């Protein structure tokens, strides 16, 4: 009985480790001249989108939040300053957006790079989860 219990715990632990390894980051860095892109993910995949940015200019990336939360969920966003200009005030960098694929389906990610009062640069991404 005791051996069966430990075997069950061991197998459960191995399954959990394997399922963590099966999830992967899908890093997508879309060239500035490309305004649209389609991504295909598997359930559990993490999508990271990197968009060049310089918030000190008053411009920032934002989303219209029209994604289907049953298909893909936003995990968060962070600004990463360029390494070559580390420590410089007003230096540019990259906005990194992270999403996780939840369920099979399709949704759209719509990013806008603008000042609060105007709209001038947009990015559209189609995401399919298989």
- The answer to whether 40 and 105 have CB atoms below 8 angstroms apart is no
Lowest mean pLDDT among 4-8, 55-59, 90-94, 109-113: 4-8
Q: How many domains does the chain have?
A: 1
* Domain assignment of residue 71, given as a range: 24-129
Residue 67 within any structural domain of the chain: yes
Residue 44 within any structural domain of the chain: yes
Residue 9 within any structural domain of the chain: no
Res 34: pLDDT: 67
- Domain of 112, CATH number, reads 2.60.40.2020
Residue 11 within any structural domain of the chain: no
DSSP per-residue string spanning the chain? -HHHHHHHHHHHHHHHHHHHHH--EEEE---TT--EEEEEE-TT-EEEEEEEE-GGGT-EEEE---S-TTTEEEEEEEEEE-GGGTT-TT--EEEEEEEEE-SSEEEEEEEEEE-TT---EEEEEEEEE-
pLDDT digits (tens, 9 = 90+) for 65-109: 778 889 999 999 999 888 887 777 888 898 988 999 999 999 988
pLDDT digits (tens, 9 = 90+) for 9-47: 443 444 344 444 556 776 665 556 666 788 888 899 988
| pTM of the predicted model over 0.75 | no
């Amino acid at each position: 009985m005791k051996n069966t219990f430990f075997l069950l715990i061991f197998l459960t632990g191995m399954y959990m480790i394997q399922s963590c390894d099966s999830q992967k980051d899908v890093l997508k860095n879309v060239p500035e001249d490309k305004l649209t892109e389609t991504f295909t993910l598997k359930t559990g995949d993490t999508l990271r989108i990197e968009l060049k940015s310089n918030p000190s200019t008053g411009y920032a990336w934002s989303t219209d939040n029209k994604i289907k939360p049953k298909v893909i969920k936003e995990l968060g966003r962070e600004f990463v300053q360029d390494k070559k200009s580390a420590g410089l005030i007003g230096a540019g960098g990259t906005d990194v957006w992270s999403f996780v694929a939840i369920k099979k389906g399709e949704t759209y990610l719509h990013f806008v790079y603008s000042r609060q009062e105007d709209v001038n640069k947009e990015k559209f991404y189609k995401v399919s989860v298989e």
